[in-house]
Structure 1
Amino acid sequence: MITSQISAAYLRGLIDFLRLRNIDTERFLERYEIDDAMLENFQARIPVARFNQMLYEAEALTGDADIGLHAGEQIKPNQYGVLGLSIMNCKTLEEAVQRHTRYENLVCNVAISRYQVTGDQVELIWDTCAPEATRHIAEENVASWVTFARWISGTDLSPSLIEFQHAPPDSTAEHERIFRCPVQFSADRVRVVFPTEFLTLSLRQYDPAMLCMLDTYAERLLLELNHSDQFVDKVTMAISTHLQSGEVSLGHIAATLALSERQLQRKLKEEGLTYQGVLDETRKSLALKQIDDDMIDFSEITFLLGFSDQSAFQRAFKKWTGLTPGQYRKSQINRPSTN
């Protein structure tokens, strides 16, 4: 079982807020065996359960029931490490959203973020089944998204709608102040909805050369984060990272791993595998995980797996399972419970 973790640097927003409230943050951090040096090291990671404890202790110390929102408001570029720097150097907000969904594991693995365009609105969804993803963590996450988007775009944008899974708090005054849009609670998932026109917003620090360098570094960090002695696991992670962009050719994945195509093929052959087989298996594994969630459309799965169109996904899925996606989902729904 994978333990949900966050980058220690992600705590910076909480610590900055506590300092504004004149809380002794040195003593606060000592209780959790964290120091200032660790806060500056985005590669250092702590369990999300510990971060959750810190948020609730911070609530008790300050009497602030909206501690998550206020910690998220304190977002700084270095809080996201390489992820934040990569986002800052993108050309448009759409590129920034794409980088966020690709590299978010560098700061937190408690959930998976994905986005989809529906009509004239974009839905940025934060999917999590982790019990550690409490109200404070969800609100800190969304508040930091909105605050960071305003900062990198140099605008005062606000979403069209925000949804949270937790029950409505006693007061939503701070939600209204920060988000300036309708906020709904007790929803199926955490979701931020905003106009598609936001995707074309130019970012004020666009630097293509820096972006290329940061992307290369971020890809390497992702592989290190998911280190395994088996070469196939490194290839699988590289493929998973690039599926949504569709950049999963043998040449591209080999370059990501700093190998030639021939070297990659030889290493897989040593493990009795082929690149096409690993690509198919990766897509199949992800497809079977997504297909069980009837909230996810087949068109969305097609996009997430990097297929050119829905018919290509349908053909591949039937080859894997002998059933169409619709037939398979229906069979899962009708499957007798084992409880």
Structure 2
Amino acid sequence: MAAELQRAGCAADQILGQAGVDRQKIAADGARLPFSKHAAVFELAAEAMQDPCLGLNFGRSRDTRDAGLIGYVGLASPSLVDALKNLARYRRVFSDAAEMDVSDLLTDGSMRWWFHGSGVSGARQCVEFSAANLLRAVRGLVGEPITPLQVSFVHPRRDGRADFEAFFGCKVVFGAAENVIVLRKADLARPIRSADDRLLALLLRYCEEVLSRHSAPPPALVERVERMIADRLSKGEARLATVAAACGMSTRSLTRRLAEHGTSFKDLVENLRRELALRYLEETTLSLTEIAFLLGYSEVSSFNHAFRRWTGKTPSTVRSRVRA
């Protein structure tokens, strides 16, 4: 990305510095970057290059080998479904923050992914990059113009949707409950042109060694609770008792644990609602009624009251200002 910024005539070192990244340190062998900084670089780069679809454009222009060890694992895997399972299994090789759920891959062709440590909307460009880069790799591995059945992103987006649908070849939904790509079962069974069983065995042994050196701790409780709240808001189920039960705790235990981290369940819900509300108003064409529903409010008046408490303005005022 630093090289891309330079080609575009942008001050790469300055932008990296804004994200707290030392260019010399990341150039060292084995260097690893906290995902929050990685995401910040992408967001700052998109702004500097005036490209709101930077993640998409950057992702579809890469080479599978750019991903290093995990890329070569994909190239050596026997079939597409094997490559995706290996990616999920060894995701820690390339990122301490990446999560990938392929448990439904063989039943309905779906895979889900997300990143820890960036908040709900702070990694939009990275999430879009990962989806575009993955599909580009999938197409290259099997040598076919594979088209997903469905692509969904959690974050909202106002502009550029046509670019996404042109690349993915299907309807792309923003503001969804999960980041999801759904592939056809026939495509998942396709063989990989460069499959090499003996090389794969060597690579997987090396992946295991890397994992042993970079075993990441489980996600922080606050991040886990934030994700559970986000998943339950639109269903009206973002309640302390519900989330505590999902965490395997009593409400008292969860309240105490959150307090140890300097926050509360109520604060997490309020902060998440405020962040999502601003994103939805600025980056989507959703009606106020739809936004209120997605945030878990039964009435628009309740949403208006909360939004005025957060910002001192009404939702209509903020939307009018954005569209002016």
The TM-score, its normalising length taken from structure 2, stands at 0.62
CA-based RMSD: 3.6
Show the counterpart of 1:191. 180
For the residues of structure 1 that align with 2:28 and 2:143, how far apart are their CA atoms? 25
Deviation of the 1:152 alpha carbon:
1.2
> Equivalent of 1:218, from 207, 210, 229?
207
Secondary structure of 2:109's partner?
Answer: strand
Note if contact 2:36-2:117 (Cα within 8 Å) is conserved in structure 1.
Answer: no
Query: Does structure 1 residue 58 correspond to structure 2 residue 45?
Result: yes
Secondary structure of 1:126's partner?
Answer: strand
Query: Does structure 1 residue 81 correspond to structure 2 residue 106?
Result: no
Summarize the Cα distance change of 1:331–1:145 in structure 2 as closer, same or farther, 3 Å threshold.
closer
Note if contact 2:244-2:251 (Cα within 8 Å) is conserved in structure 1.
Answer: no
Summarize the Cα distance change of 1:49–1:129 in structure 2 as closer, same or farther, 3 Å threshold.
closer
Note if contact 1:120-1:195 (Cα within 8 Å) is conserved in structure 2.
Answer: no
Amino acid at match of 1:84: G
Q: What percentage of aligned pairs have identical amino acids?
A: 19
For the residues of structure 2 that align with 1:207 and 1:335, how far apart are their CA atoms? 50
The TM-score, its normalising length taken from structure 1, stands at 0.59
For the residues of structure 2 that align with 1:195 and 1:120, how far apart are their CA atoms? 10
For the residues of structure 2 that align with 1:160 and 1:20, how far apart are their CA atoms? 35
> Equivalent of 2:98, from 104, 111, 123?
111
Amino acid at match of 2:132: A
Amino acid at match of 2:93: L
Secondary structure of 1:55's partner?
Answer: helix
> Equivalent of 1:152, from 141, 156, 162?
141
Query: Does structure 1 residue 72 correspond to structure 2 residue 74?
Result: no
Deviation of the 1:89 alpha carbon:
0.4
Matches within 5 A, 1:1-339: 14-15=1-2, 17-18=4-5, 21-23=8-10, 25=12, 32-35=21-24, 38-39=26-27, 41=29, 43-117=30-104, 121-132=108-119, 134-226=123-215, 332=245, 336=251, 338=255, 339=265
**Runs in 1 of length 4+ with deviation above 6 angstroms?**
none
For the residues of structure 2 that align with 1:194 and 1:90, how far apart are their CA atoms? 18
Note if contact 1:52-1:136 (Cα within 8 Å) is conserved in structure 2.
Answer: yes
Structure 2, unaligned runs of 5 or more: 219-224, 232-241, 256-264, 266-324
Note if contact 1:16-1:74 (Cα within 8 Å) is conserved in structure 2.
Answer: no
Q: Across the two proteins, how many residue pairs are aligned to each other?
A: 233
For the residues of structure 2 that align with 1:116 and 1:45, how far apart are their CA atoms? 28
